[in-house]
Amino acid sequence: MTEPVLSLRDVRKSYGRHEALKGVSLELGRGEIVGLLGPNGAGKSTLFQIASGLFAPDGGEVRLFGMDYRHEASQILSRLGVVFQSRSLDLDMTVKANLRFHGNLFGLSGKALDARIAEAAALFEVTDLLDKPVRTLSGGNQRRIEIVRALINAPDLLLMDEPSVGLDPTTRKLLVKHVQQVRDQRQTSILWATHLVEEVEHADRIALIVGGGIIRTGTPAELLAAAGADNLTDAYIALTGVKPGAPAMAEAG
């Protein structure tokens, strides 16, 4: 088997006495779209922050492309695209200026950078927005630009933490479509954290996370079969015991 793009083994993380991740294991292969699905408070952002190298786990192993952040952080980051939950574009600059700045951080410039920007913008159908100040864009378009930005370094792995929060259903659907195109065209692996079942319906696999643990991982068809359900929302409720939109049980205590 080829090296997994992302490999988490028995990853643990506590905030004070609160165990946010209780020994999580997850692997992503090349070109795979995996939905990390769970309610608020399940530990998705914590897992995400560990996978993106923002902080180290208390225990367990984190490897990206077979490498370890402790020794090869810059090599890992050069192959990683990250879309955080909070917005982080400069509102007063144009879209293109934002993208160029980001490309410069990866050592890209000139024609090579412009080609990357043009290619990524075309994938997300935002070419006509490139010269506009970010401030003039809708929330949905700003989000699309953030994902375009995360693609400028042509990452092998794209990590997205609840990228569609605050977007209308049409824009959310468009995001799903575009992200699939990225995978289809570039064989990019994608980890998509969300609490919305419909966003992961077309993922290759879904990892269900509840109360700091991944309780099950499988293809959508496998989860349906395991739950004896005919739709993923019912399967999610049956397997996790959590109603979509409800806070995590683990948060109550």
Q: Which chain residues interact with ligand ADP by CB under 6 A? A: 15, 18, 20, 38, 40-46, 251
- Which of these, 238, 239, 240, lies nearest to 250 by C-alpha position? 240
The span from the CA of 158 to the CA of 181, in Å, is 13
Q: How far is the CB of 155 from ligand ADP (least distance, A)?
A: 21
Is the separation of the CB atoms in 186 and 157 below 8 Å? no
Q: Which amino acid is at 185?
A: Q
Residues in the chain: 253
Q: How far is the CB of 76 from ligand ADP (least distance, A)?
A: 21
DSSP state of 130: T
Host H or E run for residue 210: strand 205-210
Closer by beta carbon to ligand ADP, 43 or else 213: 43
The span from the CA of 229 to the CA of 16, in Å, is 39
Closer by beta carbon to ligand ADP, 8 or else 123: 8
Q: How far is the CB of 195 from ligand ADP (least distance, A)?
A: 7
Closer by beta carbon to ligand ADP, 99 or else 242: 242
Closer by beta carbon to ligand ADP, 20 or else 121: 20
Q: How far is the CB of 213 from ligand ADP (least distance, A)?
A: 11
